[in-house]
Amino acid sequence: MYIIKNKKILKSFGNQIDQLNTLTGGISMAQFKVTNKPDKMVVTVLAPSVSPDLIQVQVEYNKLMVYATLPLNEEYNTEQPSVNLPLFAQVIDIPFHVDVDQIQANYRNGKLHINLPFTEGRLNNRRSIQIEQE
């Protein structure tokens, strides 16, 4: 009965169970769907148990990174207060002709939609190159 009186031990034990559950993939199983359309690429993420505030979307070179981390409560972890546990992470290759400045992401009805529009000039910019002979 001593363990019940000491709430700090119970909180610590509960936090360790949450961490193990997270590290083994127990909290979220995100689903990713990539759709190519004539003028854009659409990435749809379905992560029903993850708050949209925890989801991050970043572009680096030709990679789209979508991930979510669970920040640990500083009350539980006083030794390392800045530790975040990963909920999910996905890296998606994007075409070179995506207009990075026009990428938009919105969250509605439990789904995250990321629109990656193609650069206008690159869509119809085909030509044959003449080979010069010397």
pLDDT at 75 over 60: no
Highest CATH level, class, for 2-119: mainly beta
pLDDT at 53 over 70: yes
Per-domain residue ranges for the chain?
2-119
* The 3-state secondary structure of 65-76, one letter per residue: EEEEEEECCCCC
Distance CA 16, CA 79 (A): 14
- Between 92 and 122, name the one with better pLDDT: 92
Coil, strand or helix: which one is 49? coil
pLDDT tier for residue 1 given thresholds of 50, 70 and 90: very low
Residue 93 backbone dihedrals phi, psi, to 5 degrees: -70, 135
pLDDT at 94 over 70: yes
pTM, rounded to two decimals? 0.67
Q: CA 68, 73, 78 angle in degrees (round to 5)?
A: 125
The number of angstroms, rounded, from the C-alpha of 37 to the middle of its chain's C-alpha atoms is 21
Residue 51 backbone dihedrals phi, psi, to 5 degrees: -70, 140
Of 17-26, 40-49, 120-129, minimum mean pLDDT range: 17-26
What is the model's pLDDT at position 121? 67
Q: Which H or E run includes 20?
A: helix 7-23
